[in-house]
């Protein structure tokens, strides 16, 4: 995995939820911002894959935004946001392996045909004119 953490910028804000007076004073929520188009870490083809796979997380200025407010520590949230972003990008650029076509075994074909014959015979037996 390519390391693009030096290209990521951070914005902080106040976290919501429980926490009393402390929540209203400190900015512990962290947003990690990374410009996909201007990144030097990836090839143009990889950038297209990233933009395609993460389109719902990328804004009009081509920034990938990941927010984290899980902990009460700004440093922990910053680390978690970066890890989450790295995971998302790694998953987006990973190409799935192509499936190798395999031949259906003769035994499986025979078993399927035997089941069809049995079902056909069962239905014939139900008919009154047989």
Which pLDDT band, with edges at 50, 70 and 90, does 49 fall under? very high
H-assigned helices in 31-96? 44-53, 74-93
Is the pLDDT assigned to residue 30 strictly greater than 60?
yes
Q: Tell me what pLDDT residue 127 has.
A: 87
Q: Which residue did the predictor score with more confidence, 51 or 21?
A: 51
Q: Tell me what pLDDT residue 130 has.
A: 54
pLDDT tens digits, 66-114: 999 888 889 999 999 999 999 999 999 998 899 999 999 999 999 999 9
Q: Give the domains, in start order, of the chain with CATH numbers.
A: 5-93 (3.30.160.20)
How large is the angle between the packed helices 74-93 and 44-53, nearest 10 degrees?
110
Query: Is residue 66 a contact partner of residue 81, using CB atoms and an 8 Å limit?
Result: yes
């Amino acid at each position: 995995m390519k390391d693009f953490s030096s290209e990521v910028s951070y914005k902080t804000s106040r976290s919501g939820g429980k926490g009393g007076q402390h929540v209203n004073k400190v900015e512990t929520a962290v947003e990690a911002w990374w410009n996909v188009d201007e990144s030097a870490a990836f090839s143009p083809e990889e950038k297209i894959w990233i933009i395609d796979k993460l389109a719902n997380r990328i804004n009009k200025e081509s920034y990938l935004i990941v927010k984290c407010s899980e902990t009460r520590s700004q440093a922990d949230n910053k680390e978690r946001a970066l890890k989450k972003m790295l995971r998302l990008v790694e998953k987006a650029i990973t190409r799935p392996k192509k499936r190798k076509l395999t031949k259906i075994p003769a035994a499986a074909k025979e078993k399927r045909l035997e089941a069809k014959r049995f079902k056909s015979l069962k239905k014939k037996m139900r008919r009154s004119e047989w």
